[in-house]
Homo-oligomer: A and B are copies of this chain.
Amino acid sequence: MIAVRRPDEHSPIGVFDSGVGGLTVLRALRAVLPERRFIYLGDTARLPYGTKSAESVARYSVQCAEALVARGIGCLVVACNTASASALEALRARYAHIPVIGVIEPGAAAAVAASRSGHVAVIGTEGTIGGGAYQAALRRLSPDVRVAAQACSLFVAMAEEGWVDGPIAESVARRYLEPMFSAVATPYGVPYRVPYGVPDTLVLGCTHFPVLVPAIRAVLPVGVTIVDSAASVAAVVAREAALSSEPSGKLKTADGGVQWLATDGAQRFARVSSVFLGHALRADEIEIIDL
């Protein structure tokens, strides 16, 4: 049994992912809650979660959450699509004393709110798309929604390699996205919208993908709204934080900072994280823990 500390507005927010992808969520969280402390845990020893069975992912997720809860977090963010799909209910039941927020529901809700046509496209890893979690979440929120889905397997490697714009990134994005949006025909250079044809909203259903927005935007038809799950999650967490905080008169301007945890490979974590954070980490800032 873990020692439960009552979370308060000073408790850090815990964020975990199978690796570095969740850093886009952390970055969005820090943008809206700059004064909060964060603890980020990347389960790099066991990545990727996407190819593991749901039982294994649920077990790993509980181990990650346990490590963060033991460090006194006041809110848990599951910044991994696979873990959000497989383990969110179990984590909510286990840690009922704190808000537990996944990435799928906020992304799906933002997409349903953004789409005027009720036709939404979602992209993610093979595991996320094949598992159908976004498709199901979208349909729960809006039973009549039409959903186009596409696994974009190369995007993760491209993001981790830092190839986030330029001709290669755009060619890859075009190859994945064009079929979903090709019902916009432009026979004489004038876009012609096929009835019921094309999504007007694209959900980035993988935490790696926000860094690829320049390439994705370059190949999308004009007028498609990109929904970044990371930003949607940050908005939900900020709302929870506002609800759970006591009103406070003092001015909050200090940077709360981040404590970095990983389960393997501090060097690689530090190097790859720069693509996602926009600044470099040092390997000695990252504590390697054993789950």
Contacts and interface: CB of A to CB of B under 8 A. Distances in A.
A157 B154 contact: yes
A195 interface: no
Interface residues of A, number: 23
A45 interface: yes
Contacts of A51: 44-45, 47, 264-265, 268
A54 B19 CA distance: 19
A153 B264 CA distance: 19
A126 interface: yes
Contact of A171 (B47, B153, B168, B265): B168
A158 interface: yes
Nearest to A175: B168
Main DSSP-derived SS at the A contact region: helix
A89 interface: no
A264 B49 CA distance: 13
Contacts of A154: 154, 157-158, 161, 163
Contacts of A153: 157, 160-161
A268 B175 contact: no
Interface string A144-178: 00000000011011101101000110011001000
A52 to B, nearest CB: 7
A186 interface: no
A53 interface: yes
Nearest to A267: B130
A265 B167 CA distance: 34
Contacts of A44: 51
9 contacts: A44-B51, A52-B264, A53-B264, A126-B268, A153-B161, A154-B158, A154-B163, A156-B157, A167-B171
